[in-house]
């Protein structure tokens, strides 16, 4: 059988083959009301109706504790201008410090859930956990989206690729963003 030009990829990094994925800020809040957040690139929609999304969170994370107890979180989509804040929120634990405040991002009250969102986000989804599934060394939380909002400058049914420079995680400390190109098989794309 021909090798087809492939080279083997270590199973330690083979998940990078499914990236780039948006580096999403997941914010939750404890019973004291103090909010904290972490970065998750393992988020995905899983159902249209009802709209369900999933996020995979390792039990070692402080955010895991908050989501597990409060059963609510917000997903905040950030763009490439916030790579430093993303790196900070994705490498430092909020267990013993108020890293959300330290990040300098602007914390704002959400509409339907207790955890806040950040004003710098291109888009926000407010979520309530419906189910959790043990998944190896992570727990996959499946949550219903109760409310969603986005900045029209960046999003009109779909993200505008020339404007919304979503921070995309390649793996490790490497990121990229989306190109300006809008690719579609339709004869007349909407955004021209
Ligand atoms: C780009 C990026 C993506 C990440 N994706 C995930 C993820 O999907 N799930 C997860 O459990 N941790 C992920 N992490 C790690 C957590 O964000 C990190 O451990 C964070 O410091 C946890 O903070 P906490 O202890 O305050 O919850 C990611 C980190 C980065 C930088």
Q: One digit per residue, pLDDT tens: the chain, 192 residues?
A: 667 899 999 999 999 999 999 999 999 998 888 999 999 999 999 999 999 999 999 999 999 999 999 999 999 999 999 999 999 999 999 999 999 999 999 999 999 999 999 999 999 999 999 999 999 999 999 999 999 999 999 999 999 999 999 999 999 999 999 999 999 998 766 654
Residue 187 maps to a domain: no
In this structure, the residues whose C-beta lies within 6 A of any atom of ligand 1 are: 23, 36, 38-42, 56-58, 61-63, 90-95, 138, 169
Residue 59 maps to a domain: yes
**Which mutation among 23, 90, 103, 168 tests ligand 1's pocket best, with the greatest number of atoms within 8 A of CB?**
90
Residue 182 maps to a domain: no
Can you tell me which atom of ligand 1 is nearest the CA of 55? 8
Domain that holds residue 77: 19-176
CA of 169 to the centre of ligand 1 (A): 11
Q: Residue 31 has what pLDDT? A: 85
CA of 54 to the centre of ligand 1 (A): 15
CATH of the domain at 102: 2.30.110.10
CA of 170 to the centre of ligand 1 (A): 14
Can you tell me which atom of ligand 1 is nearest the CA of 94? 26
Give me the number of domains the chain comprises: 1
Residue 126 maps to a domain: yes
Residue 144 maps to a domain: yes
Can you tell me which atom of ligand 1 is nearest the CA of 63? 27
Residue 110 maps to a domain: yes
Can you tell me which atom of ligand 1 is nearest the CA of 57? 11
Residue 96 maps to a domain: yes
Residue 62 maps to a domain: yes
Can you tell me which atom of ligand 1 is nearest the CA of 36? 26
Closest protein CA for atom 11 of ligand 1 = 57
CB 91 within 8 A of CB 79: no
CA of 92 to the centre of ligand 1 (A): 9
């Amino acid at each position: 059988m021909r090798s087809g030009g492939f080279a083997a990829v270590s199973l330690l990094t083979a998940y990078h083959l499914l990236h780039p994925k948006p580096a999403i800020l997941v914010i939750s809040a404890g019973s004291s009301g103090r909010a904290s957040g972490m970065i998750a690139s393992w988020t995905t929609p899983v159902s249209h109706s009802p709209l369900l999304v999933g996020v995979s969170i390792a039990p070692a994370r402080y955010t895991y504790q908050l989501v597990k107890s409060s059963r609510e979180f917000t997903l905040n989509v950030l763009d490439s201008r916030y790579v430093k804040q993303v790196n900070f929120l994705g490498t430092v634990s909020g267990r013993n410090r108020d890293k959300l405040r330290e990040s300098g991002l602007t914390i704002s009250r959400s509409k339907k859930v207790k955890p806040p969102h950040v004003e710098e986000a291109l888009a926000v989804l407010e979520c309530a956990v419906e189910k959790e599934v043990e998944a190896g060394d992570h727990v996959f939380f499946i949550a219903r989206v109760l409310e969603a909002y986005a900045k029209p400058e960046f999003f009109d049914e779909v993200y505008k690729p020339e404007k919304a420079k979503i921070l995309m995680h390649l793996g490790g400390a490497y990121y990229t963003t989306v190109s300006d190109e809008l690719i579609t098989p339709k004869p007349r794309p909407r955004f021209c």
